[in-house]
Amino acid sequence: MAANEPQGKLWIRLIRKHKVITSLMVPCTREDPQEALRQALPTLDLSQPMWLSRHQSDWDEYALTRFRPEHFVEAVPFDSMEISYVYSEEESRTQRTRHLLEDV
């Protein structure tokens, strides 16, 4: 990561029966969520999920993606794992590639 690259946080949520059972935030850049996820998963005692093209396109478009149990090699105790990017205060709205409210 470059020294001047803005850094926000990766918000990881483990969800079971539509309720968040575990939540964790770790430092992350918008461009490299996989590295932040790789570093955070041991804290959650989870293996790395398969990062499919669907996950990448969701991340590129919405800064959010969802993993289901079938994306993990080992059994997991949740229905889904959602990850999303939380922008830092330094990152202005003009840096974002898409404004969701404008799409409505």
Total-model pTM: 0.81
Pairing mode, if any, of strands 64-67 and 8-16?
A: unpaired
Is residue 2 pLDDT above 60, yes or no? no
Q: With 0-12 CB in 10 A as exposed, 13-18 as middle and 19+ as buried, what is 54?
A: exposed
pLDDT at 95: 57
| End-to-end Cα spacing for the chain | 34
pLDDT at 96: 55
pLDDT at 100: 59
Domain limits of the chain? Answer: 8-103
Cβ contact 76:69 at 8 Å: yes
Is residue 77 pLDDT above 90, yes or no? yes
How high is the mean pLDDT of the chain? 88
In 3D space, the residue among 67, 70, 45, 44 whose CA is nearest the CA of residue 55 turns out to be 67
Is residue 4 pLDDT above 90, yes or no? no
